[in-house]
Amino acid sequence: MTDYYEILGVSRTATEDEIKKAYRHKSRQYHPDIAGPEFEEKFKEVNSAYEVLSDPEKRRMYDAGVDPNNPQASYSQGFSGMGDMGDIFSQFFGGAFGGGAGASPEPRTQPGRDTLDSVTIDLKTAVFGGNEHFTIDTLGVCQHCGGTGSEDKSQPVTCPDCNGQGYVQKVVRTMLGQMMTSAPCPTCEGHGTIIKNPCTVCHGHGRVRTKRDITVTIPAGITDNARLRLAHQGEVGECGGPAGDLYLDIRVRPDKQFTREGDNLHCWIRVPMGWAVLGHSIDIETFDGKETVEVPAGCQPEQTVTLKDLGVTKLNEKGERGDLIVHINVEIPTKLNDKERDLMEQFSSMHDSDDQKVDCNSKPVTSAKKGFFSKLKEAFN
Query: For residue 315, is it within any domain?
Result: yes
Q: Based on the fold, state whether residues 247 and 268 are members of the same structural domain.
A: no
- Over the range 46-70, which residues count as b (16 or more CB within 10 Å of their CB) and which as e? bbbbbbbbbbeebbeebeeeeeebe
Q: Based on the fold, state whether residues 314 and 370 are members of the same structural domain.
A: yes
Higher pLDDT, 42 or 366: 42
Q: Based on the fold, state whether residues 206 and 134 are members of the same structural domain.
A: yes
Q: Residue 226 above 90 pLDDT? A: yes
Q: Based on the fold, state whether residues 220 and 265 are members of the same structural domain.
A: no
Q: Residue 358 above 80 pLDDT? A: no
Q: Based on the fold, state whether residues 266 and 216 are members of the same structural domain.
A: no
To the question of whether residue 145 is assigned a binding role by annotation, the answer is yes
Q: Which DSSP letter does residue 102 get?
A: G
Q: Based on the fold, state whether residues 362 and 235 are members of the same structural domain.
A: no
Query: For residue 98, is it within any domain?
Result: no
Q: Based on the fold, state whether residues 355 and 246 are members of the same structural domain.
A: no
- Per-residue confidence (pLDDT) for residue 158, from 0 to 100: 94
- Number of Cβ atoms within 10 Å of the Cβ of 164: 15
Secondary element (H or E) of residue 348: helix 338-351
Q: Based on the fold, state whether residues 137 and 245 are members of the same structural domain.
A: yes
Q: Which of 26-30, 82-86, 189-193, 224-228 has the lowest mean pLDDT?
A: 82-86
Residues in the chain: 381
- Per-residue confidence (pLDDT) for residue 83, from 0 to 100: 39
CATH number at residue 38: 1.10.287.110
To the question of whether residue 162 is assigned a binding role by annotation, the answer is yes
DSSP string for residues in 270-303: EEEHHHHHH-EEEEEEETTEEEEEEEPTTPPTT-
- pLDDT interval class at 144 (50, 70, 90): very high
CATH number at residue 342: 2.60.260.20
- Per-residue confidence (pLDDT) for residue 79, from 0 to 100: 37
Q: Which of 84-88, 232-236, 316-320, 361-365 shows the highest mean pLDDT?
A: 232-236
In tens, the pLDDT along 49-105 reads: 888 888 888 888 888 777 777 543 333 333 333 334 444 444 444 444 444 444 678
Rounded Cα distance between 16 and 7, Å, is 16
Question: Could you give the angle at the alpha carbon of 312 between the alpha carbons of 306 and 315, nearest 5°?
Answer: 135
- Per-residue confidence (pLDDT) for residue 283, from 0 to 100: 96
Q: Is 53 helix (H, G, I), strand (E, B) or coil?
A: helix
Q: Based on the fold, state whether residues 242 and 353 are members of the same structural domain.
A: no
The contacts of residue 351 (CB under 8 Å, 6+ apart) are: 371, 373
Q: Residue 36 above 80 pLDDT? A: no
- Per-residue confidence (pLDDT) for residue 347, from 0 to 100: 81
- Per-residue confidence (pLDDT) for residue 293, from 0 to 100: 96
Query: For residue 18, is it within any domain?
Result: yes
Of the three residues 252, 267, 288, the one that is the final residue of a domain is 252
Q: Based on the fold, state whether residues 19 and 38 are members of the same structural domain.
A: yes
Segment 367-379 shows an average pLDDT of: 48
- Per-residue confidence (pLDDT) for residue 353, from 0 to 100: 65
- Per-residue confidence (pLDDT) for residue 39, from 0 to 100: 80
To the question of whether residue 360 is assigned a binding role by annotation, the answer is no
Query: For residue 340, is it within any domain?
Result: yes
Segment 136-153 shows an average pLDDT of: 93
Q: Residue 24 above 50 pLDDT? A: yes
Q: Based on the fold, state whether residues 131 and 8 are members of the same structural domain.
A: no
CB distance 247 to 117 below 8 Å: yes
Q: Which of 118-122, 217-221, 340-344 has the lowest mean pLDDT?
A: 340-344
Query: For residue 336, is it within any domain?
Result: yes
To the question of whether residue 239 is assigned a binding role by annotation, the answer is no
Number of domains within the chain: 3
Segment 20-37 shows an average pLDDT of: 79
Query: For residue 89, is it within any domain?
Result: no
* Domain range enclosing 280: 259-380
Phi-psi region of 205 (alpha: psi -120 to 50; beta: other; left: phi over 0): alpha
- Over the range 297-309, which residues count as b (16 or more CB within 10 Å of their CB) and which as e? eebbbebebebee
Residue 319, amino acid: G
Higher pLDDT, 317 or 220: 220
- pLDDT interval class at 173 (50, 70, 90): confident
Q: Residue 231 above 70 pLDDT? A: yes
Q: Residue 169 above 60 pLDDT? A: yes
Q: Where do runs of H (alpha helix) occur along 208-323? A: 273-278
Q: Based on the fold, state whether residues 122 and 248 are members of the same structural domain.
A: yes
Segment 312-339 shows an average pLDDT of: 89
Rounded Cα distance between 85 and 261, Å, is 63
Segment 134-142 shows an average pLDDT of: 93
Mean pLDDT of the chain: 82
pTM comes to 0.60
Query: For residue 142, is it within any domain?
Result: yes
Of the three residues 83, 98, 132, the one that is the final residue of a domain is 83
- Per-residue confidence (pLDDT) for residue 356, from 0 to 100: 61
